[in-house]
Amino acid sequence: MSIFGALNTAVSGLTSQSDAFGNISQNIANSQTTGYKGVNTNFVDYLTYSTATQNEPGSVVALPSYQNEVQGTIAQSRDPLAMAISGQGFFSVAEANGTNVNGQTTFNPLQYYTRAGDFTMNNEGYLVNSAGEYLQGWTVNPTTGIADQNKLAPIQVNQAQFNPVATSTADFSANLPATPAAGTPMSSQVQIYDALGTQQTLTLNWAQTATPGQWNVTVSSPNNSPTTTIGTATVDFGPTAGNAAAPPGTMSGITAGAGTTASTYTTGQPATLTVNANFGNGTQPITLNFGNFGQANGVTQYAGSTYSLINFSQNGVPAGAFTGISIQSTGNIVANYNNGQSLTIAQVPITTFNNADALQSQNGQAFTATAGSGNPSSQAPNNNGAGGLVVGSIEQSNTDIATQFTQLIVAQQAYSANAKSITTASQMLQTAINMIQ
Protein backbone atom coordinates (compact mmCIF):
# COMPACT_ATOMS: atom_id res chain seq x y z
CA MET A 1 0.00 0.00 0.00
CA SER A 2 1.44 3.38 -0.97
CA ILE A 3 1.10 6.59 0.99
CA PHE A 4 -0.13 8.24 -2.19
CA GLY A 5 -2.88 5.62 -2.43
CA ALA A 6 -3.93 6.44 1.11
CA LEU A 7 -3.99 10.13 0.20
CA ASN A 8 -6.26 9.46 -2.78
CA THR A 9 -8.59 7.35 -0.65
CA ALA A 10 -8.85 10.08 1.98
CA VAL A 11 -9.53 12.69 -0.71
CA SER A 12 -12.41 10.54 -2.05
CA GLY A 13 -13.72 10.40 1.51
CA LEU A 14 -13.67 14.22 1.73
CA THR A 15 -15.49 14.48 -1.59
CA SER A 16 -18.13 11.94 -0.59
CA GLN A 17 -18.80 13.61 2.75
CA SER A 18 -19.05 16.97 0.95
CA ASP A 19 -21.69 15.46 -1.32
CA ALA A 20 -23.54 14.08 1.70
CA PHE A 21 -23.35 17.48 3.35
CA GLY A 22 -24.87 19.02 0.23
CA ASN A 23 -27.83 16.61 0.35
CA ILE A 24 -28.34 17.29 4.06
CA SER A 25 -28.21 21.05 3.47
CA GLN A 26 -30.78 20.75 0.68
CA ASN A 27 -33.10 18.74 2.94
CA ILE A 28 -32.81 21.20 5.80
CA ALA A 29 -33.36 24.17 3.48
CA ASN A 30 -36.56 22.55 2.16
CA SER A 31 -37.91 21.34 5.49
CA GLN A 32 -40.87 23.73 5.08
CA THR A 33 -41.33 23.32 1.30
CA THR A 34 -44.75 21.90 0.40
CA GLY A 35 -44.50 18.50 -1.25
CA TYR A 36 -40.69 18.36 -1.07
CA LYS A 37 -39.14 14.89 -1.20
CA GLY A 38 -35.82 14.44 0.62
CA VAL A 39 -32.54 13.03 -0.69
CA ASN A 40 -30.49 10.66 1.44
CA THR A 41 -26.90 9.54 0.73
CA ASN A 42 -25.60 6.05 0.08
CA PHE A 43 -21.82 5.44 0.22
CA VAL A 44 -20.33 2.89 -2.20
CA ASP A 45 -16.82 1.39 -1.91
CA TYR A 46 -14.70 1.02 -5.07
CA LEU A 47 -11.73 -1.39 -4.78
CA THR A 48 -8.35 -1.04 -6.45
CA TYR A 49 -6.92 -4.48 -5.60
CA SER A 50 -7.87 -6.89 -2.87
CA THR A 51 -6.82 -10.50 -2.19
CA ALA A 52 -6.35 -12.71 0.85
CA THR A 53 -2.81 -11.43 1.31
CA GLN A 54 -2.90 -7.89 -0.08
CA ASN A 55 -5.31 -4.97 -0.14
CA GLU A 56 -4.73 -1.73 -2.01
CA PRO A 57 -6.79 1.30 -0.92
CA GLY A 58 -9.60 2.19 -3.28
CA SER A 59 -12.08 5.01 -2.97
CA VAL A 60 -15.61 5.83 -1.85
CA VAL A 61 -18.35 7.65 -3.74
CA ALA A 62 -21.58 9.20 -2.50
CA LEU A 63 -24.73 8.33 -4.43
CA PRO A 64 -28.08 10.07 -3.89
CA SER A 65 -30.95 7.99 -2.51
CA TYR A 66 -34.23 9.64 -3.46
CA GLN A 67 -37.17 9.42 -1.06
CA ASN A 68 -39.97 10.18 -3.51
CA GLU A 69 -42.27 7.49 -2.13
CA VAL A 70 -41.92 8.49 1.53
CA GLN A 71 -45.13 10.15 2.77
CA GLY A 72 -44.89 13.62 4.25
CA THR A 73 -47.18 14.84 7.02
CA ILE A 74 -50.60 15.99 5.79
CA ALA A 75 -51.59 19.31 7.33
CA GLN A 76 -54.82 21.29 7.09
CA SER A 77 -54.75 24.35 4.84
CA ARG A 78 -56.80 27.53 4.87
CA ASP A 79 -57.05 27.24 1.10
CA PRO A 80 -60.15 25.19 0.15
CA LEU A 81 -58.57 24.34 -3.22
CA ALA A 82 -55.46 22.80 -1.68
CA MET A 83 -55.07 19.04 -2.04
CA ALA A 84 -52.82 16.39 -0.57
CA ILE A 85 -52.30 12.80 -1.65
CA SER A 86 -52.49 10.17 1.07
CA GLY A 87 -50.61 7.21 -0.34
CA GLN A 88 -48.88 6.68 -3.65
CA GLY A 89 -49.00 8.91 -6.70
CA PHE A 90 -48.52 12.44 -7.95
CA PHE A 91 -50.50 15.32 -9.39
CA SER A 92 -49.99 15.76 -13.11
CA VAL A 93 -48.97 19.35 -13.83
CA ALA A 94 -47.90 21.44 -16.82
CA GLU A 95 -45.48 24.35 -17.10
CA ALA A 96 -46.43 27.48 -19.04
CA ASN A 97 -44.03 28.48 -21.81
CA GLY A 98 -45.63 31.69 -23.09
CA THR A 99 -48.77 32.97 -24.78
CA ASN A 100 -50.20 32.67 -28.28
CA VAL A 101 -51.34 35.48 -30.60
CA ASN A 102 -54.67 35.61 -28.74
CA GLY A 103 -52.95 36.11 -25.40
CA GLN A 104 -53.85 32.61 -24.20
CA THR A 105 -51.38 30.65 -22.10
CA THR A 106 -49.43 27.93 -23.92
CA PHE A 107 -47.79 24.96 -22.23
CA ASN A 108 -44.63 22.87 -22.47
CA PRO A 109 -45.61 19.49 -23.97
CA LEU A 110 -43.40 17.71 -21.41
CA GLN A 111 -45.41 16.16 -18.57
CA TYR A 112 -44.45 17.04 -15.00
CA TYR A 113 -45.53 15.45 -11.72
CA THR A 114 -45.61 16.84 -8.19
CA ARG A 115 -46.87 16.34 -4.64
CA ALA A 116 -47.10 20.12 -4.09
CA GLY A 117 -50.88 20.52 -3.94
CA ASP A 118 -51.15 24.10 -2.65
CA PHE A 119 -53.33 25.11 -5.60
CA THR A 120 -55.15 28.40 -6.03
CA MET A 121 -57.09 29.84 -8.96
CA ASN A 122 -55.27 32.47 -11.01
CA ASN A 123 -56.85 35.33 -12.98
CA GLU A 124 -57.33 33.10 -16.03
CA GLY A 125 -59.22 30.43 -14.09
CA TYR A 126 -56.33 27.92 -13.98
CA LEU A 127 -55.43 26.03 -10.81
CA VAL A 128 -51.77 26.81 -10.10
CA ASN A 129 -49.55 25.79 -7.17
CA SER A 130 -46.94 27.95 -5.43
CA ALA A 131 -44.25 26.74 -7.84
CA GLY A 132 -46.25 28.07 -10.81
CA GLU A 133 -47.26 24.63 -12.08
CA TYR A 134 -50.69 24.19 -13.67
CA LEU A 135 -52.87 21.32 -12.41
CA GLN A 136 -53.96 18.91 -15.13
CA GLY A 137 -57.05 16.72 -15.14
CA TRP A 138 -59.71 14.97 -17.16
CA THR A 139 -62.44 17.05 -18.79
CA VAL A 140 -65.97 16.03 -17.78
CA ASN A 141 -68.78 15.97 -20.34
CA PRO A 142 -71.42 18.37 -18.92
CA THR A 143 -74.26 16.30 -20.38
CA THR A 144 -73.22 12.80 -19.33
CA GLY A 145 -71.07 13.73 -16.33
CA ILE A 146 -68.43 11.24 -17.52
CA ALA A 147 -64.73 12.16 -17.49
CA ASP A 148 -62.61 11.70 -20.62
CA GLN A 149 -59.80 9.58 -19.18
CA ASN A 150 -57.88 9.46 -22.45
CA LYS A 151 -56.45 12.98 -22.25
CA LEU A 152 -54.90 15.18 -19.58
CA ALA A 153 -55.13 18.95 -19.96
CA PRO A 154 -54.64 22.00 -17.70
CA ILE A 155 -57.85 22.60 -15.77
CA GLN A 156 -59.39 25.98 -16.55
CA VAL A 157 -62.58 27.07 -14.81
CA ASN A 158 -65.08 28.95 -16.97
CA GLN A 159 -66.60 31.62 -14.73
CA ALA A 160 -69.48 32.41 -17.08
CA GLN A 161 -73.01 32.34 -15.72
CA PHE A 162 -75.15 29.20 -15.63
CA ASN A 163 -77.54 29.40 -18.58
CA PRO A 164 -81.26 29.16 -17.73
CA VAL A 165 -83.16 25.95 -18.40
CA ALA A 166 -86.81 26.14 -19.45
CA THR A 167 -89.21 23.89 -17.52
CA SER A 168 -90.05 20.83 -19.59
CA THR A 169 -91.32 18.40 -16.93
CA ALA A 170 -93.02 18.82 -13.59
CA ASP A 171 -94.14 16.34 -10.92
CA PHE A 172 -97.51 17.15 -9.37
CA SER A 173 -99.03 15.52 -6.26
CA ALA A 174 -102.38 16.49 -4.79
CA ASN A 175 -105.56 15.03 -3.29
CA LEU A 176 -108.91 16.02 -4.72
CA PRO A 177 -111.66 15.67 -2.08
CA ALA A 178 -114.26 12.93 -2.45
CA THR A 179 -116.88 15.29 -0.98
CA PRO A 180 -115.79 18.82 -1.91
CA ALA A 181 -117.30 21.67 0.08
CA ALA A 182 -119.45 24.02 -1.96
CA GLY A 183 -117.61 27.17 -3.00
CA THR A 184 -114.20 25.87 -1.95
CA PRO A 185 -111.56 26.62 -4.66
CA MET A 186 -109.82 23.60 -6.09
CA SER A 187 -106.72 25.16 -7.60
CA SER A 188 -102.94 25.31 -7.30
CA GLN A 189 -100.51 28.01 -8.33
CA VAL A 190 -97.01 26.73 -8.99
CA GLN A 191 -93.86 28.36 -10.34
CA ILE A 192 -91.98 27.32 -13.49
CA TYR A 193 -89.31 28.94 -15.72
CA ASP A 194 -89.43 30.04 -19.34
CA ALA A 195 -86.58 29.89 -21.87
CA LEU A 196 -85.07 33.14 -20.57
CA GLY A 197 -85.06 31.95 -16.97
CA THR A 198 -87.99 34.16 -15.98
CA GLN A 199 -90.25 32.70 -13.33
CA GLN A 200 -93.80 32.14 -14.56
CA THR A 201 -96.95 31.20 -12.64
CA LEU A 202 -98.84 28.10 -13.72
CA THR A 203 -102.38 27.63 -12.36
CA LEU A 204 -104.24 24.30 -12.30
CA ASN A 205 -107.99 24.69 -11.68
CA TRP A 206 -109.98 21.53 -10.89
CA ALA A 207 -113.78 21.34 -11.28
CA GLN A 208 -115.86 18.24 -10.49
CA THR A 209 -118.27 17.11 -13.20
CA ALA A 210 -121.66 15.51 -12.75
CA THR A 211 -120.04 12.11 -13.24
CA PRO A 212 -118.77 10.62 -9.92
CA GLY A 213 -114.97 10.49 -9.76
CA GLN A 214 -114.50 12.77 -12.76
CA TRP A 215 -112.80 16.20 -12.82
CA ASN A 216 -112.01 18.81 -15.43
CA VAL A 217 -108.63 20.48 -15.11
CA THR A 218 -107.71 23.80 -16.75
CA VAL A 219 -104.07 24.86 -17.01
CA SER A 220 -103.46 28.59 -17.39
CA SER A 221 -100.87 31.32 -16.90
CA PRO A 222 -101.28 35.14 -16.89
CA ASN A 223 -98.37 35.62 -19.31
CA ASN A 224 -99.31 32.91 -21.76
CA SER A 225 -99.92 33.96 -25.35
CA PRO A 226 -102.31 34.39 -27.13
CA THR A 227 -104.69 33.58 -24.22
CA THR A 228 -104.12 32.89 -20.55
CA THR A 229 -105.65 29.42 -20.92
CA ILE A 230 -103.00 26.93 -22.04
CA GLY A 231 -105.04 23.71 -22.15
CA THR A 232 -107.75 21.52 -20.64
CA ALA A 233 -108.32 17.85 -19.89
CA THR A 234 -110.68 15.48 -18.09
CA VAL A 235 -109.31 13.20 -15.36
CA ASP A 236 -111.12 10.08 -14.04
CA PHE A 237 -110.55 8.31 -10.72
CA GLY A 238 -111.46 4.80 -9.60
CA PRO A 239 -113.34 2.14 -11.58
CA THR A 240 -115.26 3.55 -14.51
CA ALA A 241 -117.50 2.05 -17.15
CA GLY A 242 -114.65 1.91 -19.58
CA ASN A 243 -111.98 0.92 -17.07
CA ALA A 244 -112.68 -1.26 -14.06
CA ALA A 245 -109.01 -1.94 -13.26
CA ALA A 246 -108.15 1.16 -11.25
CA PRO A 247 -108.68 0.92 -7.46
CA PRO A 248 -110.96 3.53 -5.90
CA GLY A 249 -109.31 6.92 -5.51
CA THR A 250 -106.54 6.26 -8.03
CA MET A 251 -106.30 7.70 -11.52
CA SER A 252 -108.04 5.62 -14.18
CA GLY A 253 -107.77 7.85 -17.24
CA ILE A 254 -106.92 11.22 -18.76
CA THR A 255 -108.83 12.59 -21.73
CA ALA A 256 -106.98 15.40 -23.51
CA GLY A 257 -108.86 18.57 -24.29
CA ALA A 258 -107.93 21.73 -26.14
CA GLY A 259 -104.15 22.35 -26.34
CA THR A 260 -103.14 19.16 -24.52
CA THR A 261 -102.03 15.59 -25.11
CA ALA A 262 -102.31 12.81 -22.55
CA SER A 263 -101.00 9.34 -21.87
CA THR A 264 -103.33 6.35 -22.13
CA TYR A 265 -104.19 4.05 -19.24
CA THR A 266 -101.75 1.24 -18.46
CA THR A 267 -101.62 -0.01 -14.88
CA GLY A 268 -98.51 1.31 -13.10
CA GLN A 269 -97.40 3.51 -16.02
CA PRO A 270 -97.00 7.32 -15.81
CA ALA A 271 -100.14 9.40 -16.04
CA THR A 272 -99.05 12.54 -17.89
CA LEU A 273 -100.61 15.62 -19.40
CA THR A 274 -98.59 17.74 -21.82
CA VAL A 275 -99.42 21.40 -22.44
CA ASN A 276 -97.82 23.84 -24.88
CA ALA A 277 -97.19 27.18 -23.23
CA ASN A 278 -95.89 30.33 -24.93
CA PHE A 279 -94.40 33.08 -22.81
CA GLY A 280 -93.23 35.13 -25.77
CA ASN A 281 -90.24 32.94 -26.58
CA GLY A 282 -91.92 30.33 -28.77
CA THR A 283 -93.75 27.15 -27.88
CA GLN A 284 -92.63 25.56 -24.59
CA PRO A 285 -93.98 22.01 -24.09
CA ILE A 286 -94.45 21.14 -20.41
CA THR A 287 -95.27 17.58 -19.34
CA LEU A 288 -97.16 17.38 -16.03
CA ASN A 289 -96.61 14.05 -14.29
CA PHE A 290 -99.70 13.22 -12.22
CA GLY A 291 -98.28 9.96 -10.82
CA ASN A 292 -99.04 6.44 -12.05
CA PHE A 293 -102.29 4.99 -13.32
CA GLY A 294 -103.97 2.75 -10.76
CA GLN A 295 -101.55 3.65 -7.95
CA ALA A 296 -101.99 5.80 -4.86
CA ASN A 297 -99.40 8.39 -5.78
CA GLY A 298 -99.39 11.71 -7.62
CA VAL A 299 -102.96 12.99 -7.97
CA THR A 300 -105.61 11.02 -6.06
CA GLN A 301 -109.23 11.39 -4.92
CA TYR A 302 -109.75 10.28 -1.34
CA ALA A 303 -111.97 11.23 1.58
CA GLY A 304 -112.20 14.86 2.59
CA SER A 305 -113.87 18.11 1.69
CA THR A 306 -110.86 20.32 0.89
CA TYR A 307 -108.26 20.26 -1.82
CA SER A 308 -104.67 19.58 -0.75
CA LEU A 309 -101.50 20.22 -2.79
CA ILE A 310 -98.91 17.72 -1.53
CA ASN A 311 -95.87 18.32 -3.68
CA PHE A 312 -94.69 20.09 -6.81
CA SER A 313 -91.25 19.98 -8.42
CA GLN A 314 -89.99 20.97 -11.86
CA ASN A 315 -86.74 20.85 -13.82
CA GLY A 316 -86.49 24.51 -14.86
CA VAL A 317 -83.58 26.66 -13.68
CA PRO A 318 -83.07 30.43 -13.70
CA ALA A 319 -79.80 31.98 -14.82
CA GLY A 320 -77.07 31.83 -12.17
CA ALA A 321 -73.84 33.74 -11.53
CA PHE A 322 -70.63 31.84 -10.83
CA THR A 323 -69.78 31.83 -7.10
CA GLY A 324 -66.71 29.56 -6.96
CA ILE A 325 -65.55 25.99 -7.16
CA SER A 326 -65.26 23.12 -4.73
CA ILE A 327 -63.23 19.93 -4.91
CA GLN A 328 -64.51 16.54 -3.80
CA SER A 329 -62.49 13.61 -2.44
CA THR A 330 -63.26 11.78 -5.69
CA GLY A 331 -61.24 14.41 -7.53
CA ASN A 332 -64.32 16.05 -9.06
CA ILE A 333 -64.02 19.81 -9.51
CA VAL A 334 -67.47 21.36 -9.18
CA ALA A 335 -68.47 24.86 -10.30
CA ASN A 336 -71.15 26.43 -8.09
CA TYR A 337 -73.73 29.09 -8.98
CA ASN A 338 -75.99 31.37 -6.97
CA ASN A 339 -79.12 29.73 -8.40
CA GLY A 340 -78.38 26.63 -6.34
CA GLN A 341 -77.01 24.70 -9.30
CA SER A 342 -73.61 23.03 -9.60
CA LEU A 343 -71.73 21.54 -12.52
CA THR A 344 -68.86 19.04 -12.50
CA ILE A 345 -66.30 20.41 -14.96
CA ALA A 346 -63.22 18.20 -14.46
CA GLN A 347 -61.73 15.38 -12.42
CA VAL A 348 -58.28 15.32 -10.86
CA PRO A 349 -56.54 11.96 -11.40
CA ILE A 350 -53.57 10.61 -9.46
CA THR A 351 -50.58 9.38 -11.47
CA THR A 352 -48.49 6.46 -10.24
CA PHE A 353 -45.19 4.88 -11.33
CA ASN A 354 -43.70 1.44 -10.87
CA ASN A 355 -40.57 3.02 -9.37
CA ALA A 356 -41.25 6.59 -8.27
CA ASP A 357 -37.80 6.88 -6.64
CA ALA A 358 -36.29 6.81 -10.14
CA LEU A 359 -38.12 9.96 -11.29
CA GLN A 360 -35.95 12.84 -12.47
CA SER A 361 -36.08 15.85 -10.12
CA GLN A 362 -36.96 19.23 -11.64
CA ASN A 363 -37.45 22.74 -10.30
CA GLY A 364 -40.42 23.50 -8.09
CA GLN A 365 -40.75 20.09 -6.38
CA ALA A 366 -41.61 18.59 -9.76
CA PHE A 367 -40.47 15.40 -11.45
CA THR A 368 -40.35 13.94 -14.95
CA ALA A 369 -40.59 10.30 -15.95
CA THR A 370 -37.48 8.26 -16.80
CA ALA A 371 -36.83 4.80 -18.17
CA GLY A 372 -36.16 3.66 -14.60
CA SER A 373 -39.44 5.04 -13.21
CA GLY A 374 -41.61 3.34 -15.82
CA ASN A 375 -44.52 4.87 -17.68
CA PRO A 376 -47.09 7.03 -15.85
CA SER A 377 -50.48 5.54 -15.08
CA SER A 378 -53.33 7.91 -14.21
CA GLN A 379 -56.49 6.83 -12.40
CA ALA A 380 -59.14 8.22 -10.11
CA PRO A 381 -58.18 8.59 -6.41
CA ASN A 382 -58.23 5.34 -4.41
CA ASN A 383 -58.19 3.20 -7.55
CA ASN A 384 -55.63 0.64 -8.75
CA GLY A 385 -53.02 1.49 -6.13
CA ALA A 386 -53.38 5.27 -6.35
CA GLY A 387 -53.60 7.15 -3.07
CA GLY A 388 -56.57 9.04 -1.73
CA LEU A 389 -57.23 12.75 -2.09
CA VAL A 390 -57.40 14.92 1.03
CA VAL A 391 -59.11 18.20 0.17
CA GLY A 392 -58.30 21.43 1.98
CA SER A 393 -54.91 20.08 3.04
CA ILE A 394 -51.29 20.02 1.89
CA GLU A 395 -48.50 17.50 2.19
CA GLN A 396 -45.53 18.90 4.04
CA SER A 397 -41.88 18.12 3.32
CA ASN A 398 -40.94 14.54 4.23
CA THR A 399 -37.66 15.82 5.73
CA ASP A 400 -37.20 15.18 9.47
CA ILE A 401 -35.07 17.94 10.99
CA ALA A 402 -33.83 15.81 13.91
CA THR A 403 -32.61 13.10 11.54
CA GLN A 404 -30.91 15.63 9.30
CA PHE A 405 -29.05 17.24 12.20
CA THR A 406 -27.87 13.81 13.34
CA GLN A 407 -26.61 13.02 9.85
CA LEU A 408 -24.99 16.45 9.74
CA ILE A 409 -22.94 15.64 12.86
CA VAL A 410 -21.90 12.29 11.40
CA ALA A 411 -20.88 13.90 8.09
CA GLN A 412 -18.88 16.57 9.92
CA GLN A 413 -17.00 14.04 12.01
CA ALA A 414 -16.35 11.78 9.00
CA TYR A 415 -15.05 14.75 7.03
CA SER A 416 -12.70 15.67 9.90
CA ALA A 417 -11.48 12.08 10.10
CA ASN A 418 -10.66 12.00 6.39
CA ALA A 419 -8.89 15.32 6.73
CA LYS A 420 -6.86 13.84 9.59
CA SER A 421 -5.90 10.93 7.32
CA ILE A 422 -4.57 13.39 4.76
CA THR A 423 -2.62 15.27 7.45
CA THR A 424 -1.11 12.01 8.69
CA ALA A 425 -0.17 10.89 5.17
CA SER A 426 1.45 14.28 4.59
CA GLN A 427 3.53 13.87 7.75
CA MET A 428 4.61 10.39 6.68
CA LEU A 429 5.68 11.70 3.28
CA GLN A 430 7.64 14.47 4.94
CA THR A 431 9.39 11.89 7.14
CA ALA A 432 10.33 9.88 4.04
CA ILE A 433 11.70 13.00 2.34
CA ASN A 434 13.75 13.92 5.44
CA MET A 435 15.49 10.52 5.32
CA ILE A 436 17.80 11.66 2.47
CA GLN A 437 19.05 14.73 4.27
CB 67 within 8 Å of CB 357: yes
Over 80: is that where the pLDDT of 389 sits? yes
What is the mean pLDDT of the segment spanning 346-355? 97
Residue 244 confidence (pLDDT): 72
What is the mean pLDDT of the segment spanning 300-327? 95
| pLDDT mean across residues, the chain | 93
Over 70: is that where the pLDDT of 63 sits? yes
Residue 243 confidence (pLDDT): 67
What is the mean pLDDT of the segment spanning 57-62? 88
Cβ partners under 8 Å of residue 389, min gap 6 = 83, 84, 85, 86, 327, 329, 330, 331, 348, 350, 381, 382
Instruction: Read off the pLDDT of residues 108-122 as tens digits, 9 standing for 90 and up.
Output: 999 999 999 999 999
What phi and psi values does residue 327 have, to the nearest 5 degrees?
Answer: -120, 135
What is the mean pLDDT of the segment spanning 29-51? 91
Q: Whole-model pTM?
A: 0.80
Residue 430 confidence (pLDDT): 82
Over 80: is that where the pLDDT of 66 sits? yes
What is the mean pLDDT of the segment spanning 121-132? 95
CB 43 within 8 Å of CB 62: yes
Instruction: Read off the pLDDT of residues 241-282 as tens digits, 9 standing for 90 and up.
Output: 556 778 999 999 999 999 999 999 999 999 999 999 999 999
What is the mean pLDDT of the segment spanning 339-344? 93
Over 80: is that where the pLDDT of 381 sits? yes
Over 70: is that where the pLDDT of 93 sits? yes
Instruction: Read off the pLDDT of residues 172-220 as tens digits, 9 standing for 90 and up.
Output: 999 999 998 877 889 999 999 999 999 999 999 999 998 889 999 999 9
Over 90: is that where the pLDDT of 145 sits? no
Residue 224 confidence (pLDDT): 97
CB 286 within 8 Å of CB 169: yes
CA distance 83 to 421: 51
Residue 1 confidence (pLDDT): 56
Least confident of 283-287, 346-350, 413-417: 413-417
Residue 356 confidence (pLDDT): 96
What is the mean pLDDT of the segment spanning 410-423? 90
